[in-house]
Structure 1
Amino acid sequence: MLADVGDQWRTPDDLWWGINAKFGPFVLDLFADNHNAKCEAFYTAEDNALTQDWSVRLAELGGVAYANPPYSLASRHEGQYITGMTHIMQHTMVMRERGGRYVYLIKAATSESWWPENADHIAFIRGRVGFQLPDWFIPADEKQKPSGAFFAGAIAVFDKNWRGPATSYINREELESMGRMFINQIQRAALRIQGIAA
């Protein structure tokens, strides 16, 4: 059932690579699992990102953290919050002060109490953002085949060393086009490496 997907919608590759090109390089996915992680290093629900020191991990990895955060209601595991946008944003601000860059793909929900007015940069995305189902999802019936999860989106950057503007606008198509260019470059490089190895 579609309700079973919960927080596991995936960021499309072309969109992710476009955001990565503008704000990365991404090396740590803050809220992921084995089916939707965009980086080799990632935190699962079991790891509970809200109990981790992201700044230390980023210092080890040498890059930028990415998040397509879970929007489910705040919930706890063993007394610690593991979800809830308010708690996620609070932890993000603590991590920001410790150093590193944290880039979020979020709903452009400016009326929500968790909206990150204190982000260092907000890039509003022109064009609705669509997400993909996890690879494990098999619809139980025809009613469970979605047309997609689409909403107005924004990219929030948390980085106390940010020196750019506070806000900007970017077209979704531009991000996706940039992402496809990077994917094509990666595929060409992989084929070249395979040819050399053969």
Structure 2
Amino acid sequence: MTINSGLFTSNKQDWETPTELFNNLNEKYNFTYDLAARSDNAKCKKFISPEQNSLNVDWSLLEGNLFCNPPYGRELSKWVQKAYETSLEKSEQIVFIIPARTDTSYWHDYIFNKAEVIFIRGRLKFEVDGIAKDAAPFPSAIVIFNGKSYLKNDL
């Protein structure tokens, strides 16, 4: 078996969302925008492309629930921060699929006690050109930003 070397490097930032997972989430949230997509892998009719630079778009002006499988590179914390801050202004929900790297500062600053978190059992098989490939080398989570506060853990 050949293992995709992109799974073990930070050079790969555009992990394509597994279609079945997206469809299950979309059934519940009825997304209007995919915040980080290309025309060949967008999960919603409306999407923000890398050329449009989603981090420079005002997400609070976008109607409906928003979906995002952001780039997993060094700027991931900026995406998470923006989702949290936008959720304080927006009544709809912003749903992210991200690595479950709970030791990072952005998890502590913008997710814990500030968003609903669903940890995904097992490892996601991200897609390449719509075909599931090797399992990711990291656990993943679904993070739902909705502007609500959650119980604070004082540990």
- TM-score normalized with structure 1 length: 0.62
C-alpha displacement of 1:7:
2.1
After superposition, the C-alpha distances for 1:54-106 in whole angstroms (9 at most, x for unaligned) are 12112xxxx21001111112xxxxxxxxxx01211221122112112100011
Task: Report SS of the residue matched to 1:114.
Answer: helix
Structure 2 unmatched ranges of 5 or more: none
Q: Does 1:109 align with 2:101?
A: yes
Please name the residue that 1:134 is paired with: 129
Task: Report SS of the residue matched to 2:105.
Answer: coil
Please name the residue that 1:123 is paired with: 118
C-alpha displacement of 1:124:
1.2
Structure showing greater radius of gyration is 1
CA contact (8 A) 2:84 2:147 kept: no
The letter for the 2-side match of 1:25 is N
Question: In structure 2, which of residues 5, 10, 15 is the aligned counterpart of residue 9 of structure 1?
Answer: 15
C-alpha displacement of 1:150:
4.7
Q: Runs in 1 of length 4+ with deviation above 6 angstroms?
A: none
Task: Report SS of the residue matched to 2:125.
Answer: strand
CA contact (8 A) 2:14 2:72 kept: no
Superposed CA RMSD: 2.6
- TM-score normalized with structure 2 length: 0.78
Percent identity for Structure 1 against Structure 2: 32
CA contact (8 A) 1:130 1:151 kept: no
CA distance in 2: counterparts of 1:160 and 1:91, whole angstroms: 12
C-alpha displacement of 1:148:
4.0
The letter for the 1-side match of 2:146 is D
The letter for the 2-side match of 1:128 is R
CA distance in 2: counterparts of 1:121 and 1:9, whole angstroms: 22
